[in-house]
Amino acid sequence: MPLKYVIPTAETFGKLTFEGKDRDVTSGRSRVATGVVYNLLSEKQAELIEVQIPTRSGSKTFETDTEVELLNPKLEPTGRSTGDEAIASWKLTAENIKKRGISSMVKILKLRNGIEIDEEKSLGKLKFLDKKSPSLVLGEDGEPTGEIKDRRYDILSKLQHDSFTVVLPAETDEKNFPFNSTVKLINPVVENYAIPNGRYVDAGIRVTADDIILVNKVSSIKNATIPEKK
């Protein structure tokens, strides 16, 4: 199963400025208001993005170009069908929008300048489940050549209560960690995808990383003592 969501850091968007209300979000036959979508200008993404906040957070009437910040933002994969193809997209939600410096989607066609996630808030503690068959390079005839394209492993996110597959480069060593070992991803990267499924779209998040290491190995490196020079 793919990840359900990721938590972006503030660096994903850079400076955000308020650009006005876009639309109300309703649900059910009675059209009960459940949320409001606002337009924000992201300096990092260099484009307008949409964020949905709950109706209970109140109406936002900031002046245009007011610098704002998002309270507990979350990115969920989504997409739309275009016949035989699908366009991957992100849905950005937050608990609230506040003026920058004051204490305290629903779609984005693309975040073209990348996403920096808060690994702890997005994934929580990670457990190693199993290794999967590696992906192989295909020859001109469409048949596997035997050359490894990448390595794949099943990882459990304790925070999201679900497992996901992480893809590593082919040159990494094969991992045979004990089942349920606590692990850490090295330089994880997320990207969304969308696969057409009739009139619907199957959207998800793909996770790649430079490597996977055991957490106790990280601790042993941090706690290692350097012998004194004689």
Residue 3 lies in a domain: no
pLDDT on residue 222: 47
Give Cβ neighbours of residue 129 (< 8 Å, ≥ 6 apart). Answer: 153, 154, 155, 156, 163, 179, 180
Question: Same domain for 202 and 181?
Answer: yes
Question: Same domain for 97 and 146?
Answer: no
Q: Is the pLDDT of residue 199 over 80?
A: no
Residue 1 lies in a domain: no
Give percent of the chain above pLDDT 90: 54
* 193 against 168, higher pLDDT: 168
Residue 96 lies in a domain: yes
pLDDT on residue 79: 87
Residue 143 lies in a domain: yes
Question: Same domain for 171 and 73?
Answer: no
Question: Same domain for 16 and 111?
Answer: yes
Say how many domains are in the chain.
Answer: 2
* 218 against 206, higher pLDDT: 206
Question: Same domain for 15 and 115?
Answer: yes
Choose one of 119, 148, 166: the last residue of a domain: 119
Average pLDDT of the segment spanning 201-222? 79
Between β-strands 200-208 and 162-169, what pairing exists: parallel, antiparallel or unpaired? parallel
Burial of 90 (0-12, 13-18, 19+ CB in 10 A): buried
pLDDT band for position 97 (cuts 50, 70, 90)? very high
Residue 72 lies in a domain: yes
Residue 99 lies in a domain: yes
The CATH number for 130's domain is: 2.40.50.390
- pTM equals 0.67
Cβ 171 vs Cβ 9: under 8 Å: no
**Low-confidence winner among 71-75, 125-129, 188-192 (lowest mean pLDDT):** 188-192
Q: Is the pLDDT of residue 34 over 70?
A: yes
Average pLDDT of the segment spanning 223-227? 47
| Domain interval for residue 216 | 122-222
Q: How does the average pLDDT of the chain come out, rounded?
A: 85
pLDDT on residue 109: 39
pLDDT on residue 39: 95
pLDDT on residue 115: 77
Residue 41 lies in a domain: yes
pLDDT on residue 217: 60
